[in-house]
A = this chain, B = another copy of it.
Amino acid sequence: MAKALRVGIGGLGTVGASVVRILHEKANTLACHCGRPIEVVAVSARDKNRDRGIDLSHVKWFDSPVQMASSNEIDVFVELIGGELDVAYASVEAALKAGHHVVTANKALLARHGVALATHAEEKGVFLNFEAAVAGGIPVIKVMRESLSSNHVSRIYGILNGTCNYILTRMFTEGLSFKDCLADAQKLGYAEADPIFDIEGHDTAHKLALLTSLAFGTVISLDDVYVEGISNISQVDIRAADKLGYRIKLLGVALKTDTGIEQRVHPAMVPTSSVIAQIHGVTNALAIQSDLLGELLFSGPGAGGAATASAVIGDLADIAKAHPGFQCGSVLGRPALALTPYEKACIATHAGGYFIRLSVHDRAGVFATVAKHMADHDISLESIVQRSFVEGQIGGTKTIILVTHETTEANIQQALARIAEDGHLVARSRFIRIERMT
């Protein structure tokens, strides 16, 4: 059998420890699959003495991941350092400089520096694999990078954050408030102590930025993602959506429009009968629409030590099989230098249906005024619900729910501004975009 692929792992948290454990437990299967063994020969983490339940006795310890990454004792550097962007960047750069392959699960690193690192990897002719950076154990990167080469992608959309989907699922099934669900998710380890990055949509935005580049062959453009989280979603929205035939999901969406590429992360109404509406709990899903395939959809575990480790090991196996003498191909599906500039379509030009919730004073003429402003802005209404199923009315106020036909975000914003000026609202108006499914 050929020489072992020598792996150095930076970062031994849940994922890192799982990678070490699984590579050991499944050594024979993997060697059979790859035609050569994959061996962890070096590790680096913050605390040398922590008990991680894995045997590191035959593995060289490095205090510095950067030093390990550039050591000639390894063939591949696995970057699982995460959070600390400086250290992660420095160690990945050091590995590439030394001509080592890199596997990383670091979406933040790639969303910020992906194109530069890809350029670097391609110059050196080494792999920079990042399956674990998006949608955990679902092999969406491989599929987009390798299987869809002849497809012209028009839109991608998906549930890319398990924490948010868990919260929204429980809000729906158990009628709990956002706050209570979040607290529970934190207790159960599905949400971080500081949940902002997840619940405000930033985690989804990082992942979406990478997928957008793969989908459209553009440079990664994180700062152009429109981001809105789920902390404003209430039981009123969820119940009204249900009655109208929708579920609310936090989606990441990227599509080509006449004015450019729209990248957006926000709570969206999806039809109850759609597959994406059936994605429950911490599960992730991604749909890809293209000319040759219509719609492909993948769902699976978006996080967790074992699932993420599975993705990391899939990346390592690709390297083990290819090595040596392989042209490593493009990190982002086409050569980094051939990626085209990102042309942004503003959220104001977004076209779609809208779910609008207005809390208004219960007095004569309010609805007529609302209807007039809608008509003035060319917005036609599909459904109008006053009071009927809405809970939580405050004395002297009522809730109006409107569902619009396709219109633009600019029209909606202007109409709502006019409605607000009239002084009928008792609270800020809310709207949720409806994502069309075909």
A interface residues, Cβ below 8 angstroms from B:
22-23, 26, 29-30, 32-35, 131, 137-139, 142-143, 146-152, 273-275, 278-279, 290-301, 306-307, 309-311, 313-314, 317-318, 321-322, 325-327, 329-330, 333-335, 338
Q: A291-B306, A325-B325, A333-B33 are in contact. Are A150 and B314 (CB under 8 A)?
A: yes
Please state if B292 and A296 are interface contacts (CB–CB under 8 Å).
no
Chain B residue with the shortest CB-CB distance to A338 = B32
The copy count of this chain in the complex is 2
Nearest-neighbour CB distance to chain B for A219, whole angstroms, equals 15
Alpha-carbon distance A22/B292, docked complex (angstroms): 9
Chain B residue with the shortest CB-CB distance to A274 = B278
Nearest-neighbour CB distance to chain B for A48, whole angstroms, equals 26
Chain B residue with the shortest CB-CB distance to A290 = B310
Please state if B137 and A22 are interface contacts (CB–CB under 8 Å).
no
Among B32, B151, B301, contact of A293 (Cβ-Cβ < 8 Å): B301
Please state if B334 and A33 are interface contacts (CB–CB under 8 Å).
yes
Alpha-carbon distance A338/B334, docked complex (angstroms): 35
Nearest-neighbour CB distance to chain B for A42, whole angstroms, equals 20
Alpha-carbon distance A95/B381, docked complex (angstroms): 62
Alpha-carbon distance A38/B167, docked complex (angstroms): 47
Nearest-neighbour CB distance to chain B for A341, whole angstroms, equals 16
Please state if A322 and B326 are interface contacts (CB–CB under 8 Å).
yes
Nearest-neighbour CB distance to chain B for A365, whole angstroms, equals 44
Please state if B148 and A310 are interface contacts (CB–CB under 8 Å).
yes
